[in-house]
Each structure stands twice: as C-alpha cells, then as structure tokens.
Amino acid sequence: MRKKLGTVISGALSEGFSVRIDRQVQLEKIKTGHFVVLAGTNYRFFSLVTDLKLEVANPEIMLAPPGEHETILHKVLSQRDIFAVAHIKPVIMLDQANKISPVKTIPPHFALVHEANAQDVALIFGEERQNTKYFKIGQPLDMDAAVCLDLEKLVERSNGIFGKTGTGKTFITRLILAGLIKNQKAVNLIFDMHSEYGLQSRTEAQGHGFVKGLKTLFPNKVVIFSLDPASTRRRGGAPDVCVTISYQDIKVSDILSLQDELNLHSTALEAAYLIYAKYKENWLQRLLQIGGDQPKDLAQEVGAHPESVAALYRKLRRIEQLPFFVDGSAPRTQVIDQLLEYLNRGTSVIIEFGNYTSTFVYLLIANIVTGRIHDAYVRKTEHFLGSQSKSDEPQKLLITIEEAHKFLNPIAAKQTIFGIIAREMRKYYVSLLVVDQRPSGIDPEIISQIGTKIIAQLSDDQDIQAVLTGVSNAQGLKTILATLDTKKQVLVLGHAITMPVVIETREYGELFYRDMQADLLPIEATIEELYR
C-alpha cells in the first residue's frame, strides 16, 4: 500500500514541481532528500524532495494568526487556508513497461505523489541478491530498502568521495572497496596514508571498538606493502612486502606535485631537469652526493644556476632520512615489479605508510608507484589492442588516493600522473577513487569529469559549489547537502547510480562481514576463521 504525500499544484520541467501536502500527513516526517514517486498518466516520475515551505491561501490570515490554545480555529484553517508545500525535482521517469529514461515531459495538475516503497527502490537501483554487479551501500532516509551501486559502471570512470573531516569518508571508502573485492569487478591499489584500510581500525561509532580491515576480511585477496613494517607488526599484522625504493626509481616528474609542498621555485625544477639530462637515472644520487658541499661544481657541470642547485638540494635532502629510500650502492629491489605481479593476479594491494604520514612522503611515493603502474598498463593495453585476444585484456585497476586536492589541484593536475589518469576516462583500464575534504582545491576540469560522487556533509560554500560542478539541478542538491547529518548520511549521484539519492550508509559490522564472506569457497572460509 503506497502512502500518499500530496498532489501537484504547479511546476515546470526545468525547476521541478510544487506538491500540496495532504493535511493527514505528519509534516515533520517529511525531510529534504526523501525519495518520492509522482504518478502521471503514462509515466511515473521518480523524484527527490528538495525543499519544504509553509503557505497560506489568504495572506490576511497572518494578520491575526490563531493563538496557542485556539485549536479549533487552527483545525478550521487547515481545511483550506493554510497548508504545506513540498518542492520535488523529478530525476528519471518510467513508462508502463518500466523503461527508464530522462525526464522530458511533465505530469498533469493534481497528479498524485506517493512516498517510494521498497519495490520502487529495487526497481530503480537494482538488487544485490540477483546480480553481482549491484552492491548495497545504504538505504533511503527512513526506509528499509537497499540502494545499490552498479559496480561495473563505477569502475568505468574515476570517482570521488567527499566530506569534511569526521563525516566517515574512510568507512564509506572501505565499504565500496570491499564490494569491489568480493565481486571481483576491479583490482585495487590503495595508498593508505593513515593505515586505516588493511588491518583493524577504530570504529566510526563512539567508544573504543574496532572494525576489520580489508586484509582481515579478504586475506587471500589483499596484500599489504608497508613502508613502516614495525608499525604494521605493532598493529597485529605482518606486511607481505617491505617497501624499499632506489634513488634511481625517482624521476624528476615525481617531484612536480611537491612543488607547493616543498616551496620549490621553477628554477629549482629546471635545475633538476638539467641534472637529469647529464646523469639520467642517477640524477638524484648525484645531487645528494655533491649538491650540498659543491653546488657550484655541479651547477657548472650541468649548466644550472648554483643557487637553484643549492635550493633543490636543501628541499630534497630529507629523502636521505627516510629508511625506505636506498642509494645505488645497495642491492636494487624490484618492489614495483612485485606489486604489478599481485595486481596481474587480481590481488588488491594496500600500501601502508605507518608513521611516515607527512604529505611529502605520501605524494612522492604515490607519484613514483602510480607512474610506473600506469606505464605498465599502457603497454598492456597496447598489446591487447594489437592482439585483440580476450586473454590479453588488462583487468580494471582502481587507484585510491586520499588528500586528492594535493595531487589534482589546478597546477599539479596538468603535470602529474593523477591528472593524466583522471582525464583519460579509463582509456588504459586505470581509474581513480579520490577521497577528499576540500573538493574546491581540485581542478574544476577534473572534478567535472568524475563519474560517481558520494558526498557527505560539507560546510564550506566553495566546497559545495565545487562538488556540484557540472551537475544538473545543482541548486536543489545544494539545499539537500546543507541538511545532511554529520555522520552516516550521504548524497550519491552520477554514473554508477540511476538517480541522485540521499542514503543512510550501510553498517560496517558483523552482519557486513558475514555478507562479504557468504560466497567464499570452503578453504577461503577456513582462512577467514583463522584470521579472526
């Protein structure tokens, strides 16, 4: 039985419709973001409540409004003269054969509007039980029904999870990554800045509880590469690979996104390119060896300004204090080759930073690794295009980065590998999942190309404006964003979901763990039990 909300009294295709709410409806139960269905003659219009308003038929009533105890007068007025209006914005429409299409027409006057039910939600967003491409991420406000993402569409483009600090971005990210791993829709490379995705992490709820990480949930489908093995062990795990990177693995392009972080002048970068032109892959080792004591000699060798060489040395010498960077005298390890082997086998990789959580380290490591991985995927894609053999087709790779505005600001996005990947629209089977609290810092061109956006509460107007770049009905969605709770409520919109919807996010706990392990083979289930 559908619950009637009201009737359409006015509106326009571009602006949405005004719905007079029936007086029997308890007004305070209707919230912005609610999912409703408008029943036209030939179509059903699936819509969101974007605003609520109180109206009076005769303004003179407000000259002498009924007092607190004048309940009879209030009831009489509510029969005709005072009422509430909900503003709704249709997003999609269904014909009588349940074919979904964009909204291109309008319903008649006095068309009925009902609250959506579980069958409506399943019809629009798919059902997790019937198809592995659908993954439940939550439920509509005040409803017991599953809203699903289309995981196959999700990995077709780059995606973003946005929200201010403390809104649960990490939990939502972990939730989606778990769905991708379980349903094998993409292999994942996760740059885990604060060691929150692999092993156990603090619960989102108040208290001192912990939740399982992805390595704990899927021990045979996830490996941990650690820059700080001691930190990984202290947290009860063991790294699968201890990361060491040679100076020869660092290219000049890897430090481009560090220009702001290190306050590097353009002349210092020019000096780096000149050193590279002479010493090739040994450029950094040469800089660190003599750039401090004899910057003039090195500058004269390569044709750079001595002050630029000295400044470059001062900014990059901190690399010598990081134990996971080794110079050319040490045996050269092939960590990136190992990482590629895991990815090629369909095993997701989490790179943990442990106690090395500075933005400098995070940006540098992410650039080094991602640049080499992208190069490998370009070669694999070109080989596949040449052979046209299904067995040569690369598996889709999703790279998760936090502090995304550091990689994708207007300057860095034009120079770094992450800007290239974001613009390629998965041309080489690689896409991004960006997690960020300051979307206004991301290049507008990049953010407009993000396929699916999951937006938690944002308080800064510039951030809200940025995250809705290129979105239709941005004003109505802006109103919805302003009313989200601090935690466990997000607005989901874009390529991987049929229509924008506000949801309460899925609980990440024991029931979720069981769902993730429900289809494991017996040997996998045994491993899961041993890992608990």
* Nearest one of 446, 492, 437, 485 to 469, comparing CA atoms: 446
- Burial 502-516, CB ≥16 within 10 A → b, else e: bbbbbebeeebbebb
Residue 74 pLDDT grade (very low, low, confident, very high; cuts 50, 70, 90)? low
Q: Would you list the DSSP string of 204-241?
A: SSSSS-EE--HHHH-TTTEEEEES-HHHHHHTT---SE
**Partners of 112 in beta bridges:** 7, 39
pLDDT tens-digit profile of 406-439? 889 888 888 789 999 998 878 899 999 999 999 9
∠ CA 433-437-439, nearest 5°, is 75
Whether the pLDDT of residue 183 is over 90: the answer is yes
Torsion of CA 183, 187, 191, 196, to 10 degrees: 20
Selection from 178-187, 260-269, 302-311 with the highest mean pLDDT: 178-187
pLDDT tens-digit profile of 18-33? 999 998 899 888 999 9
Q: What integer pLDDT is reported at residue 95 of this predicted model?
A: 94
Per DSSP, the three-state class of 252 is helix
Section 41-67 average pLDDT: 85
User: Cβ distance 367 to 417 under 8 Å?
Assistant: yes
Per DSSP, the three-state class of 223 is strand
The CATH number corresponding to 149-244+333-531 among 3.40.462.40, 3.40.50.300, 3.30.1490.100, 3.30.2320.50 equals: 3.40.50.300
Q: What integer pLDDT is reported at residue 424 of this predicted model?
A: 84
User: Cβ distance 226 to 243 under 8 Å?
Assistant: yes
Alpha helices by DSSP H, 317-402: 335-344, 359-387
Section 367-374 average pLDDT: 93
pLDDT tens-digit profile of 478-508? 888 988 988 889 999 999 999 999 999 999 9
Q: What integer pLDDT is reported at residue 90 of this predicted model?
A: 94
Detail the DSSP E strand segments found in 479-520.
489-494, 501-505
Q: Under 8 Å CB-to-CB from 331, ≥6 apart: which residues?
A: none
Cα 460 from Cα 483, distance rounded (Å): 13
Whether the pLDDT of residue 187 is over 80: the answer is yes
First vs last Cα of the chain: how many Å apart? 44
Whether the pLDDT of residue 261 is over 90: the answer is no
Phi, psi of 209 (to 5 degrees): -75, 170
Whether the pLDDT of residue 327 is over 90: the answer is no
Alpha helices by DSSP H, 388-521: 404-408, 417-424, 444-448, 461-467, 474-481, 510-517
User: Cβ distance 506 to 489 under 8 Å?
Assistant: no
**Partners of 525 in beta bridges:** none
Whether the pLDDT of residue 259 is over 90: the answer is no
pLDDT tens-digit profile of 146-159? 999 999 999 999 99
How far from chain centre, in Å, is Cα 85? 34
Section 104-109 average pLDDT: 94
Check residue 308 and give left, alpha or beta (phi > 0: left; psi -120 to 50: alpha): alpha
Residue 521 pLDDT grade (very low, low, confident, very high; cuts 50, 70, 90)? very low
Whether the pLDDT of residue 525 is over 60: the answer is no
489-494/222-226 β-pairing: unpaired
**How far are the Cα atoms of 265, 340, 392, 413 from residue 418, in angstroms, in the given order?**
22, 18, 25, 7
Whether the pLDDT of residue 374 is over 60: the answer is yes
Q: Which two tokens stand for residue 334?
A: 């092939």
Selection from 187-191, 335-339, 441-445, 510-514 with the highest mean pLDDT: 187-191
Angle between helices 266-279 and 306-316 (to 10 degrees): 90
Q: Which two tokens stand for residue 320?
A: 């010598």
Q: What integer pLDDT is reported at residue 453 of this predicted model?
A: 96
Residue 55 pLDDT grade (very low, low, confident, very high; cuts 50, 70, 90)? confident
- Burial 325-335, CB ≥16 within 10 A → b, else e: bbeeeeeebeb
Q: What integer pLDDT is reported at residue 519 of this predicted model?
A: 59
**Partners of 369 in beta bridges:** none
pLDDT tens-digit profile of 33-51? 999 999 999 999 999 999 9
∠ CA 225-199-194, nearest 5°, is 70
* Nearest one of 489, 484, 482, 518 to 505, comparing CA atoms: 489
Whether the pLDDT of residue 70 is over 70: the answer is no
User: Cβ distance 148 to 134 under 8 Å?
Assistant: yes
Residue with the two structure tokens 């509509």: 140
User: Cβ distance 114 to 4 under 8 Å?
Assistant: yes
pLDDT tens-digit profile of 112-159? 999 999 999 999 999 987 678 999 999 998 889 999 999 999 999 999
Q: What integer pLDDT is reported at residue 396 of this predicted model?
A: 95
User: Cβ distance 422 to 432 under 8 Å?
Assistant: yes
Whether the pLDDT of residue 53 is over 80: the answer is yes
Per DSSP, the three-state class of 24 is coil
Q: Whole-number mean pLDDT of the chain?
A: 89
pLDDT tens-digit profile of 400-411? 999 999 889 888
User: Cβ distance 258 to 407 under 8 Å?
Assistant: no
Domain extent listing, the chain: 4-116, 149-244+333-531, 247-321
Cα 287 from Cα 284, distance rounded (Å): 5
Section 233-250 average pLDDT: 91
pLDDT tens-digit profile of 199-216? 887 776 555 678 899 999
C-alpha torsion sign, points 153, 156, 162, 166: positive
